[in-house]
Chain A
Amino acid sequence: MIYKHALRPSSDTPTHCRLFQAFTGIRSIVHTHSRNAVAFAQAGRGIPCLGTTHADYFYGEVPVTRPMTAEEIQSAYERETANVIVERFNDLDPKRVCAVLVHSHGPFVWGPSGKKAVENAFALEIIAEMALKAIQLNPQVQPISSYLLGKHFLRKHGPASYYAKFKSSGAPPARTGSLSLHLCLTQGLPTGTNAEA
């Protein structure tokens, strides 16, 4: 090879590699240290779904991984970071929950395009701040019902979404206001997307 790169790729690159391998169908991955999402990661807590803002983007709790072991940290740390994410998604669908908190670290978020993935990361930070404040106001606050969760998520995502129906029928949406919130995973992902162990 005649040329050596002046710049190296982001140090988190092995994490991206492993996630692209495991979550087939995702096109873009975002990693930030946004403060409210990190607060949940550092507390070792997932972000519970306490309202419809959350449900518009994420189908249920945004999960937190287990803490990484000494061996994982001392070996291929960045790749093992992805492995604890993949492990956490054994019983979750990355198409329906497009974000995760790595314990004591921070959020990884994905989506069908670079722009959508960043929007999802921004939505995650917003719902983390909202949840944090709601828990402060009422430490016994409970997640929203499965009915409300399903109503809000599924009307925007997947084949039963109002949006998809409007698109397929060509009929105009009756209420365009709520459709402006449509962001997360309605485009680009194949239906069979699943985490591979």
Chain B
Amino acid sequence: VALSRISARTKFITILLLALGVCELNPNGHVMSNYDDIKAESYEANLLLPEFKLIDLTFGNVSVADSERQVFAVKPSGVDYSAMKVGDMVVVDFEGNIIEGESLLGMTNSAKLSWALFASPSCSPFASHR
């Protein structure tokens, strides 16, 4: 989706919600994900696979779940372990619906901000990914 579609209105709402304290920025300057904990744990566990020499090429993946919220963070498809970032972890619910993915290759921070806003259920009154 073209960046130009991220409208001024979306940016305004993002900034407004940040100002109201509904959303926070994480240390990377992105809107704080509700799933930072499982994304980080999944990312670190995935990086252990090459460390333990358990994988060849891109075979292999680790998921980490939040059973209360019925979601898990999992490695993205086909990404080289050496190039993978914590933000690349994709959050999926137990039914298989994508809840959050922040692999915004080449996108600007404002796009990341907007995407994270729209992807985050507690931040967004109107986004649905089902």
Q: Which residues of A contact B (CB under 8 A)?
A: 1-14, 16-17, 20-21, 24-34, 113-115, 117-118, 121-122, 125
Contact = CB atoms under 8 A, between A and B. Distances in A.
Given A2-B10, A20-B65, A28-B63, A118 B56 contact: no
A127 to B, nearest CB: 14
B123 interface: no
A16 B90 contact: no
Interface of B is mostly: mixed
B120 to A, nearest CB: 12
Contact of A8 (B42, B67, B77, B105): B77
B51 to A, nearest CB: 9
A26 B96 CA distance: 17
Interface of B: 1, 5-6, 10, 41-42, 44-46, 48-49, 52, 54-56, 59-65, 67, 70, 72, 74-77, 79, 88, 90, 92, 94-96, 98, 101, 103-105, 114-115, 118-119, 127-129
Given A9-B77, A121-B54, A32 B60 contact: yes
